[in-house]
């Protein structure tokens, strides 16, 4: 049940993010979630979008360096300890978390969490067995 995440290399200069989002708008791509990690010279923009393959093509057409990465999405209660339980499950199973970002649902008290791990299959099995809700790609793409 992995989710395709679009990662785009962005120069750390004025206007870079606007050009990326303009290209997505032109392709009629809707952003569901995003995160950016930056250094002095560049950043990696990570996005969950409604049509990852089309978004990837749009980035390539606009001459951006982009990749599609498989990540896991989970839904946890939006309350103290909601995320901690899921992370403990992964830690106990020796699944390494490479990065994580989250956003809140608008209609319920759910925090939607995107996780990049070193073992997607193993992470999905232990999370599911612990009762952590795994998100189907369509759930995020169609929000």
Domain tally, the chain: 2
CATH of the domain at 115: 3.30.2130.10
Cα separation, 32 vs 141, whole angstroms: 7
The answer, yes or no, to whether residue 67 has pLDDT greater than 90, is yes
Please indicate, yes or no, whether residues 63 and 91 belong to a single structural domain of this protein: no
Tens of pLDDT, residues 99-128: 999 988 767 788 999 999 999 999 999 999
Which of 43, 69, 95 lies at the terminal end of a domain, its last residue? 69
Question: pLDDT digit string (tens) for 18-53?
Answer: 999 999 999 999 999 999 988 888 899 999 999 999
């Amino acid at each position: 049940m992995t989710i395709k995440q679009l990662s785009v290399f962005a120069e750390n200069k004025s206007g870079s993010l606007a050009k990326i989002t303009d290209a997505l708008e032109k392709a009629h791509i809707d952003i569901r979630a995003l995160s950016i990690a930056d250094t002095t010279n560049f950043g990696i923009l990570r996005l969950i979008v409604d049509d990852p393959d089309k978004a990837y093509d749009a980035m390539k057409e606009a001459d951006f360096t982009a990749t599609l990465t498989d990540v896991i999405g989970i839904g946890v209660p939006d309350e103290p300890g909601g995320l901690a339980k899921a992370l403990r499950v992964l830690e106990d199973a020796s699944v390494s978390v490479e990065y994580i970002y989250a956003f809140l649902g608008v209609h319920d008290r759910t925090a939607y969490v995107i996780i990049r791990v070193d073992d997607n299959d193993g992470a999905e099995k232990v999370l599911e067995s612990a009762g952590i809700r795994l998100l189907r790609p369509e759930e995020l793409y169609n929000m």
